[in-house]
């Protein structure tokens, strides 16, 4: 697929997807969401991609939300389609067997916060701002904000943000657990790439099992979740990487993982 609204590059096993509509602060329209879905599918299918970074073009925004000019006159059936396209894409990203990091370089409002929450981790610049301001537009979040936000930061804080429509700066987002790390804006990409490359060097199948256990265990009862973990962990013993990792430790050398 040819992309108009995103940039897609791969560097040393790390795919970088850059939302590229800086004049509209990278607002997310349906065309961009279709491109994101395609890019995430490419990341899933391409074995040379081991980790993914999502970021925004320009120095003001990651994504300033779903595109309000496109949404304004949507009929309910079309709104449903736009919402389902978003959910399909974000669930694909979230459950990908490969790790993802949102590098949030400015505004991440509404759909921007929601897209960042479908990534495994969020690294923010000091000027990043988060929020779910949909209520101010007569809406509620439509791409998982009412569900992923309480899971990440707790119900009380999520309600404060969704019902109040306010914004959080990077420091507050860090304090409530929405953000993993904060960097000065000019170091954000460099530090995010460094960490993504480290993740890209991890044993591939083990990474898949770790994400699978966390993603699919989270909403199970503790007994079932632990059972899932046991099964995922046991499967790791079928890999050469488990043998290699443990041999390398005992031989006091660096492991050479092959993804097998």
Which residue in 10, 137, 225, 248 binds ligand DAK (CB under 6 A)?
137
Distance CA 39, CA 237 (A): 32
- Minimum distance from CB of 257 to ligand DAK (Å)? 39
**What's the DSSP call for residue 98?**
S
Instruction: Between 19 and 107, name the residue whose CB sits nearer to ligand DAK.
Output: 107
Residue from the set 10, 42, 49, 83 that interacts with ligand DAK by CB under 6 A:
83
| 114 counts as catalytic | yes
**Identified catalytic residue from 114, 175, 190, 231:** 114
Binding of ligand DAK by 107 (CB under 6 A): yes
| Least distance to ligand DAK, CB of residue 72, Å | 9
d(CA 190, CA 259): 26
* Contact mark string toward ligand DAK, 3..42, x via CB under 6 A: ---------------------xx-x---------------
Whether 170 and 200 have beta carbons less than 8 Å apart is answered as no
Q: Which of 2, 11, 75, 134 is catalytic?
A: 134
Question: Does the protein bind ligand DAK through residue 133 (CB under 6 A)?
Answer: yes
Q: Which helix (H) or strand (E) holds 231?
A: helix 222-236
Residue 83 C-beta: closest distance to ligand DAK, Å: 4
Q: Does 111 bind ligand DAK (CB under 6 A)?
A: yes
Find where tokens 């669930």 sit. 91
The residues, any chain, with a CB within 8 Å of residue 87's CB and separated by 6 or more, are 143, 144
Q: Are 21 and 32 in contact (CB under 8 A)?
A: yes
64 lies in the site for ligand DAK, by CB under 6 A: yes
Tokens read off for 77: 């059936």
Closest by Cα among 138, 84, 95 to 119: 95
Determine the Cα–Cα distance for residues 56 and 39; give it in Å rounded to an integer: 15
Residue 134 lies near ligand DAK (rule: CB under 6 A): yes
Give the DSSP H or E segment for 117: helix 111-117
Which single residue is written with the structure tokens 């439509």? 142
Tokens 């979740």 map to which residue?
225
Q: Any idea what DSSP says for residue 87? A: H
Q: Cβ of residue 163: shortest distance to ligand DAK, in angstroms?
A: 15
Applying CB under 6 A, which of residues 82, 123, 183, 205 lies at the interface with ligand DAK?
82
Cβ-based nearer residue to ligand DAK, 129 or 211: 129
- Considering only residues 139 to 158 of the shown chain, the ones binding ligand DAK according to CB under 6 A are 139, 141-143
Q: Helix or strand or coil: residue 248?
A: helix
Q: Which residues are at the interface with ligand DAK (CB under 6 A)?
A: 24-25, 27, 64-69, 79, 82-83, 86, 107, 109-111, 133-134, 137, 139, 141-143
Catalytically annotated residues:
114, 134
């Amino acid at each position: 697929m040819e992309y108009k609204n995103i940039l897609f590059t791969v560097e040393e096993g790390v795919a970088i997807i850059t939302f590229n509509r800086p004049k509209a602060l990278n607002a997310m329209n349906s065309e961009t969401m279709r491109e994101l879905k395609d890019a995430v599918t490419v990341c899933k299918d391409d074995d040379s991609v081991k980790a993914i970074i999502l970021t925004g073009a320009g120095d003001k925004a990651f994504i300033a939300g779903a595109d309000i000019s496109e949404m304004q006159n949507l009929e309910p059936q079309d709104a449903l389609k736009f919402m389902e396209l978003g959910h399909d894409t974000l669930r694909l990203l979230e459950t990908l067997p490969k790790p993802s990091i949102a590098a949030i370089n400015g505004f991440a409002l509404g759909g921007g916060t929601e897209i960042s929450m479908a990534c495994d981790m969020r690294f923010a610049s000091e000027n990043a701002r988060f929020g779910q301001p949909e209520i101010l537009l007569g809406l509620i979040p439509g791409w998982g904000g009412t569900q992923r936000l309480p899971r990440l930061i707790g119900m009380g804080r999520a309600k404060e943000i969704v019902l109040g429509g306010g914004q959080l700066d990077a420091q507050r987002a860090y304090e409530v657990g929405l953000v993993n790390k904060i960097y000065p804006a000019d170091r954000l990409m460099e530090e995010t790439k460094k960490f993504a490359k480290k993740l890209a060097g991890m044993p591939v199948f083990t990474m898949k099992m770790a994400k699978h256990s966390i993603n699919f265990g989270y909403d199970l009862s503790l007994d079932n979740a632990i059972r899932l973990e046991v099964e995922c962990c046991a499967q790791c013993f079928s890999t050469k990487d488990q043998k290699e990792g443990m041999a390398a430790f005992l031989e006091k050398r660096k492991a050479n993982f092959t993804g097998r």
